[in-house]
Amino acid sequence: MATPSTFPSSSVPGNTQPIIVAQNLGKTYRSGKLEVPALRNVTFSADPGEFVAIVGPSGSGKSTLFYVLGGLTHATSGSLFIEGAEFSRLSDIERTKMRRAKIGFVFQRFNLLPTLSAYNNIEIAHDIANIGAEPKQPLDRALLDHLADLLGIKGRLDHRPNELSGGEQQRVAIARALISRPAIVLADEPTGNLDTKNSDAVLEMLRHSSRELNQTVLMITHNPEAAQIADRIIHMRDGQIRNIEKGRGQILHED
């Protein structure tokens, strides 16, 4: 099938084109003679402001999809459009610019910079998102206060990652992803290390980001209750999308 090189941009006011379009994405890892097909024919799209959860067993390709959608690794087949631009046709510099300006990442293993305090980790992410921006947006201290408050890390901002618990590091990583209000938030197991109270706070925050701030949120989770906060739930197995269902848009607790 011929693939168009561009889609109309969703940043045009009133344009409701999807902000992410994935068409037949494939990713095969190669090490020596060994080939691991981690993604196969993954096709879906996400609209501005949509909250999508991605669930599936360990090894089903969720993190690989996260890396491909974020432009951190190349798909080996298929096409990916972000805001109408085909990722593989952008130069490395253009792709990096797009990633910095448009995408906030919450990594499964947090990836905080170990020599910097929590505050400086958040600040540097904001600075990186602003490279090349005209005019530069100053760090929104009110937003940082708000995020730190909701995430319960206000008293921890002077600490380095190795002085923080896993759950605290995770919450710093979430503040870092949201501080520059990116159009797309990619979150890999953002509640994996959190207790119910903090997990609910994070899910509500991501819900707010999508509903009120029109950010597109893609959240990988193992937790079926957490997935229900999304508008849509994508089920993956063996690198493929097996099913897409509607989420309830709110947190469900069975108790």
Ligand X SMILES: Nc1ncnc2c1ncn2[C@@H]1O[C@H](COP(=O)(O)OP(=O)(O)OP(=O)(O)O)[C@@H](O)[C@H]1O
Q: Is 61 in the site for ligand X (CB under 6 A)?
A: yes
**What are phi and psi for residue 41, nearest 5 degrees?**
50, 50
Query: Do residues 236 and 242 lie in contact, with contact meaning Cβ atoms separated by under 8 Å?
Result: yes
Q: Is 64 in the site for ligand X (CB under 6 A)?
A: yes
Closest CA to 216 of 228, 232, 197: 232
Q: Which is nearer to ligand X, 31 or 162 (CB)?
A: 31
Least CB distance from residue 71 to ligand X, whole Å?
Answer: 16
User: Among the candidate windows 5-13, 58-66, 116-124, 131-139, which touches ligand X by CB under 6 A?
Assistant: 58-66
Tokens for 89?
A: 């046709």
Q: How far is CA 205 from CA 80, 151, 153, in A?
A: 27, 9, 14
Q: Is 38 in the site for ligand X (CB under 6 A)?
A: yes
Q: Is 64 in the site for Mg ion (CB under 5 A)?
A: no
User: Among the candidate windows 61-69, 89-97, 191-199, 226-234, which touches Mg ion by CB under 5 A?
Assistant: 61-69
Q: Is 162 in the site for ligand X (CB under 6 A)?
A: no
CA 136 distance to own-chain centroid: 23
Edge to edge, what strands does the sheet with 103-106 contain?
103-106, 184-188, 216-220, 51-55, 232-237, 240-246
User: Among the candidate windows 43-51, 53-61, 192-200, 246-254, which touches ligand X by CB under 6 A?
Assistant: 53-61
Q: Which alpha helices (DSSP H) does 38-102 contain, by range?
A: 62-69, 92-102
Residue nearest to Mg ion (CB): 63
Q: Binding ligand X by CB under 6 A: which of 23, 42, 46, 60?
A: 60
User: Among the candidate windows 59-67, 68-76, 124-132, 227-235, which touches Mg ion by CB under 5 A?
Assistant: 59-67
Can you state the angle between helices 166-178 and 118-129, rounded to 10 degrees?
30
Total residues contacting ligand X (rule CB under 6 A)? 13
Q: Binding ligand X by CB under 6 A: which of 5, 12, 29, 165?
A: 29
Query: Do residues 246 and 220 lie in contact, with contact meaning Cβ atoms separated by under 8 Å?
Result: no
Q: Which is nearer to ligand X, 15 or 43 (CB)?
A: 43
Tokens for 208?
A: 């707010």
Least CB distance from residue 111 to ligand X, whole Å?
Answer: 14
Q: Which of residues 105-124 bind ligand X (CB under 6 A)?
A: 108
Q: Is 191 in the site for Mg ion (CB under 5 A)?
A: no
Rounded distance, CA 202 to CA 251, Å? 11
Q: Is 63 in the site for Mg ion (CB under 5 A)?
A: yes
Tokens for 195?
A: 């207790």
Rounded distance, CA 56 to CA 221, Å? 8
Least CB distance from residue 42 to ligand X, whole Å?
Answer: 11
Which uninterrupted H or E stretch holds 243?
A: strand 240-246
- Residue 209's binding partner out of Mg ion, ligand X, none, with CB under 5 to 8 Å set by partner kind: none
Interacting residue ranges for ligand X, rule: CB under 6 A: 29, 31, 36, 38, 56, 58-64, 108
